[in-house]
């Protein structure tokens, strides 16, 4: 089962990156958004990112200028944008990367289940919700996996491939091979909260927020401590800005509702307050830090 035509639902922070790596990996990709302006924003980020990656390859002597230009041209030519769900009907694989809201995801998959050819494999990039519940809603639980990519998708080298009790072996293998074709190392995980990475990472981010809330240390010192003391590429507060405070809050709220006694899933007050104030991190220009586009101001 070879995946050649891929639909990506949502062209935001994660979706645009998934569109790009699938296109770089040689797939025909259809990017679906709710509005043309969101689609245009995602496609323009892809344009900037693929050109940046190409210029780095030339700089490092890994590709000639001609090879890099061809890579950019082929990648962009592999991508089509749409705001019409029906355009996804004959995809071999659909990867969902919409807002972290279970109701939005299950209703999307219920509709895609009716719309798409019977062979289409469905995947969710959810950070925290049970894959099994979306699989049930889709009406084709054996053809459903989690494909959890990391932010920024173009640079992070991992994908978690999540199987439920109902996932067909052939479907799991095809999804894992797709991740590999996108240039990622695939690890496999059962359908457990947060899979491998977020089960470890999100409670760590929570502790850094609680530390800031208590006034134990400044934001700069918390970040510097983990960067210089543990060799992390960015500190946990910068990382929360990077992920999005809204997405982090939705992850924790979902877990708190399902697992009220799990102390690791505490929702810090500071996170609720900042999201209510519209401070969503890098995407809104302000979170724990101020951002100028993709860089800290």
Positions marked catalytic: 127, 148, 160, 198
Interface residue with ligand CAA, options 27, 145, 243, 274 (CB under 6 A):
243
Of 22-51, binders to ligand CAA (CB under 6 A) are 49
Beta-sheet pairing, 5-9 with 28-32: parallel
Of the candidate residues 1, 3, 53, 76, the single one contacting ligand CAA (CB under 6 A): 53
Residue 243 binds ligand NAD, judged by CB under 6 A: yes
Strand order across the 28-32 sheet:
79-82, 28-32, 5-9, 93-96, 121-124, 144-149, 158-163, 185-190
Task: Provide the minimum distance between the beta carbon of 202 and ligand CAA in the complex, in angstroms, as a whole number.
Answer: 7
Residue 189 near which of ligand CAA, ligand NAD, none (CB within 5-8 Å, type-dependent): none
Under 8 Å between Cβ of 7 and 94? yes
Which of positions 162-181 make contact with ligand NAD (CB under 6 A)? none
Binding of residue 38 to ligand NAD (CB under 6 A): yes
The reply on whether position 97 binds ligand NAD by CB under 6 A is yes
* CB of 109 closer than 8 Å to CB of 20: no
C-beta neighbour count of 171 within 10 angstroms: 22
Residue 195 CB coordination number (10 Å): 22
d(C-alpha 19, C-alpha 24), whole Å:
9
From the list 75, 78, 167, 198, which residue makes contact with ligand CAA (rule: CB under 6 A)? 198
Sign of the four-CA dihedral 276, 282, 283, 285: positive
Nearer to ligand CAA, 18 or 93 (CB): 18
- Calpha distance 12→244 (Å, rounded): 11
Which is nearest to 83 in space by CA: 125, 50, 42? 42
CB of 115: closest distance to ligand NAD in angstroms? 13
108 binds ligand NAD per the rule CB under 6 A = yes
Interface residue list for ligand CAA (CB under 6 A): 49, 52-53, 127, 150-152, 154-156, 197-198, 201, 233-234, 239, 243
Interacting residue ranges for ligand NAD, rule: CB under 6 A: 9-15, 32-34, 38, 97-100, 104, 108, 125-127, 150-151, 243-244, 247
């Amino acid at each position: 089962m070879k995946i050649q035509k891929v639909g990506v639902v949502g062209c935001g922070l994660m979706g645009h990156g998934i569109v790009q790596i699938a296109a770089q990996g040689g797939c025909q990709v259809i990017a679906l958004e709710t509005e043309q302006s969101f689609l245009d924003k995602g496609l323009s980020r892809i344009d900037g990112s693929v050109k940046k990656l190409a210029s780095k390859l030339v700089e490092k002597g890994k590709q000639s200028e001609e090879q890099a230009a061809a890579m950019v041209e082929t990648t962009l030519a592999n991508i089509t944008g749409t705001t019409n769900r029906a355009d996804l009907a004959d995809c071999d694989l659909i990867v969902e990367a919409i807002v972290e809201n279970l109701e939005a995801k299950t209703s999307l998959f219920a509709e895609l289940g009716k719309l798409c050819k019977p062979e289409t494999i469905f995947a969710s990039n959810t950070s925290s919700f049970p894959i099994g519940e979306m699989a049930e809603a889709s009406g084709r639980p054996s053809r459903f996996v989690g494909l959890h990519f990391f932010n920024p998708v173009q640079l992070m080298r991992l994908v978690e491939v999540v199987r439920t009790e109902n996932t067909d072996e052939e479907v799991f293998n095809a999804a894992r091979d797709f991740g590999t074709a996108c240039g990622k190392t695939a690890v496999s995980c059962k359908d457990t909260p947060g899979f491998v990475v977020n089960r470890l990472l999100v409670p760590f981010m929570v502790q850094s927020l609680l530390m800031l809330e208590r006034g134990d240390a400044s934001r700069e010192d918390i970040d510097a401590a983990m960067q210089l003391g543990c060799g992390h590429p960015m500190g946990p507060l910068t990382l929360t800005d990077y992920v999005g405070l809204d997405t982090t809050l939705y992850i924790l709220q979902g877990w708190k509702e399902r697992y009220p006694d799990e102390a690791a899933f505490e929702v810090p007050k500071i996170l609720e307050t900042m999201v209510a104030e519209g401070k969503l991190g890098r995407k809104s220009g302000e979170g724990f830090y101020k951002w100028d586009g993709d860089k800290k101001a």
